Chain A
Amino acid sequence: MTRTIALAGTPLELVERGQGRPLLFLHAGEGLAPERPWLDLLSRRYRVIAPCHPGYGNSPLIDGGGSVDDLAYLYLDLAAELGLDGAVLVGADLGGWIAAEMMVRSSARFSRLVLTAPLGIKLRGRDERDIADIHAMTPAEYLRLAWADARNGDVDYTALPDSELAAIVRGREAFALYGWKPYMHNPRLKRWLHRIDRPTLLLWGAADGIVTPFYGEGWRQEIAGARIDVIPDAGHFPHWEQPEEFVQRLSAFVDGRND
């Protein structure tokens, strides 16, 4: 089911599916794509709550602008509003960055953290790029870097209705708003990742050319007890390219230990 709620004075569109342990899924910069299989697969095991970030879908930007900080506070408010307790927090790409920003502020409502190829931190020197510059490449180059099989990410835009195209365009604009400068990261975030005090799984696509498994290793080192799991035949969006494998590894982690 999809509904729009008012939260912190801003409308927020939510997809909710399934029963059981709550799982808050924060989508990638590409958008939520609720018609794709991973939310359904997750909802067979969990009560999935998946908001459209402000600027995406039918969620307007917060005050016409906003930052990743705003999104982190918004979703902490959402967790409180829904009374989540012991929830699983999952974030992919941009969503992973937001999830980390939430957890360094408060992990109180969450029991597990799953970060799928998160953006958000700076690892190497000032003249070394950690995150591929998606705004400096052609669509073909982007597909090659972001997908294990470029065909999986290729969309025929000419076949889509205007309403979907509008959502895609607004989503791209929002993604730029949140991550243009500093490019897709918060220079101060890495400094505080030690505050993440919940079991954490980093899921990575072996063929990710946007943020490589090396970048994932940097995350792992900053979060106590975190482990990294690399999914073959997947690029930057393993939940999209290998949804079954993604859900299987996530649930093995989430359900494989006691809280």
Chain B
Amino acid sequence: MRVWYFSEMAYHPAWEEGLKRGSLRVVLPNANYDPEIGHRLLNRYLDEFRLCDEVGLDIMVNEHHSTSTCLTISVPMALAVIARETKRARLLSLGNPIANRPDPVRVAEEMAWLDVLSGGRLEMGLVKGAPYEIAPANSNPANLMRRYWEAHDLILKAMSTTDGPFSWEGEFFHYRNVNIWPRPYQQPTPPVWMTGLSPETGRMAAERGHVVGTLLSLSAAGPMFDAYRKRAQELGWTAGPDRFAYAAVVGVGTTREEGLRRANLAADYVRTSVVVAEAFTNPPGYNSLAANIAMLKSGGKRGGFVRDRHGNPVDQRTATIEQLLESGTCFAGTPDDVYNQIKALSDSVGGFGNLLMFGQGGFLDHADTVANITLFAKEVLPRLRELSPESKKTAAVAAQ
């Protein structure tokens, strides 16, 4: 198993005010952000990413916009810094919200450049993005996935074409001369990742051989991974654990109490991420027809992505660490505890080869974060590597 350390690089000093106003995103004015504190936090978070490289973890970065939950507004910018500060770690962009990007060729250029800079260490996530990202980007939610797939196809063609220029006249994007320099270090493209919560996403990813990741939700992971494996089988190949990724908050300590304390602090990410002004939570067209009908029938109640083992929604804002352990949202305790929890969850969904480790969140401070990273890398990571040895690229056949 590979483990990808991840922090949203939160601006938690504004959370109290955001909670009071009912939104940490979109409508919380940036007067609540102090540039000096932000400067220190950003640099601290980048130091923590560098530490991961030293102790053997891989690295993941994401981006959000107009929010106190995440200071990273550009994956390529953050990874450009991290690429220069690291030597060994693979670098996962998870990712570019490509349906919200006006210029997919620019995305292809940036990703190729990062791949060149890092000597082929880039893994490239092309993601749909969260519903509350629609407003900051002002992208049309009603045709989001049509735009997603057109951007996806164009980015991969731009990265893998060596005899350009080629032209592109699609529904959304228009170019007459696509011919990116530099082209990527890895041929024909860096590995591609998607994220999702539905079996449909699993099938779509399987058809392209992409890695598929899911967020903090055991109840979504199983059906999505199953759908992927089934579709791959139909297409004549067998999807191994390397095609699957699972994201969870991880807190490890020398004692169970210390691990739980760290996870509980980092889990404020989960508790705060859903605190968004209602208008921005469900833009028309973002969620499926069935999900919208269910919401209207229930009088407008929304479920978060965290569900218990029976599939019932857990109120993320007030979820206890026990509930988050039960729902597969957190792994926490001693190194033995954490290893056993990860193994059990992986076994229950047919095996995943990538753990996306929320190793820092919210008020988990630098000293605790360093300890969390270091202890995990020393005591848990080697056992996870043995659990599923260096993954073969099982999708090589599919990708051809």
Contacts and interface: CB of A to CB of B under 8 A. Distances in A.
Interface of A: 64-65, 135-139, 157-158, 160, 162, 165-166, 168-170, 172-177, 180-181
A139 B300 contact: yes
Interface residues of A, dominant DSSP: helix
B135 A157 contact: no
A29 to B, nearest CB: 10
A165 B288 CA distance: 13
Contacts of B171: 65
Interface in B250-290: 277-280, 283-285, 289
Given A175-B284, A176-B140, A176-B284, A158 B135 contact: no
Contact of B299 (A137, A157, A166, A170): A157
Interface of B: 135, 138-143, 146, 171, 277-280, 283-285, 289, 292-293, 296-300
A169 B278 CA distance: 17
21 contacts: A65-B143, A135-B279, A135-B283, A136-B280, A139-B300, A157-B296, A157-B297, A157-B299, A162-B297, A165-B292, A165-B297, A166-B293, A169-B289, A169-B296, A170-B289, A173-B142, A175-B284, A176-B140, A176-B283, A177-B285, A180-B138
Nearest to A169: B292
A136 B135 contact: yes
Contact of A165 (B142, B296, B299): B296
B146 A162 contact: no
Contacts of A169: 284, 289, 292-293, 296
B137 to A, nearest CB: 10
B285 A173 contact: yes
A228 to B, nearest CB: 31
A137 B135 CA distance: 12
A127 B299 CA distance: 35
A181 B292 contact: no
Given A137-B279, A158-B296, A180-B139, 9 more contacts: A65-B171, A157-B296, A158-B297, A169-B293, A172-B285, A177-B140, A177-B142, A177-B143, A177-B285
Nearest to B27: A136
Contacts of A181: 138-140
A30 to B, nearest CB: 13
* 5 closest Cβ pairs, A-B complex: A177-B142, A176-B284, A180-B140, A157-B296, A176-B142
Q: Which of B140, B171, B284 has the most CB of A within 10 A?
A: B284
Contacts of B135: 135-136
A174 B284 CA distance: 8
B144 to A, nearest CB: 10
A181 B147 CA distance: 14
A160 B292 CA distance: 13
Nearest to B291: A169
Contact of B296 (A64, A168, A170, A177): A168
Contacts of B280: 136
Nearest to A183: B138
Nearest to B298: A158
A165 B140 CA distance: 22
A129 to B, nearest CB: 13
A158 B280 CA distance: 22
A139 B280 CA distance: 12
Given A165-B297, A175-B284, A176-B285, A64 B146 contact: yes
Nearest to A172: B284
A136 B283 CA distance: 9
A177 B143 CA distance: 7
Contacts of B297: 157-158, 162, 165
A180 B293 CA distance: 22
A166 B279 CA distance: 20
A168 B141 CA distance: 16
Contact of A180 (B142, B277, B298): B142
A134 to B, nearest CB: 9
Nearest to B141: A176
Nearest to B288: A169
Contacts of A176: 140-142, 283-285
Contacts of B278: 138
Contacts of B296: 157-158, 160, 165, 168-169
B277 to A, nearest CB: 8
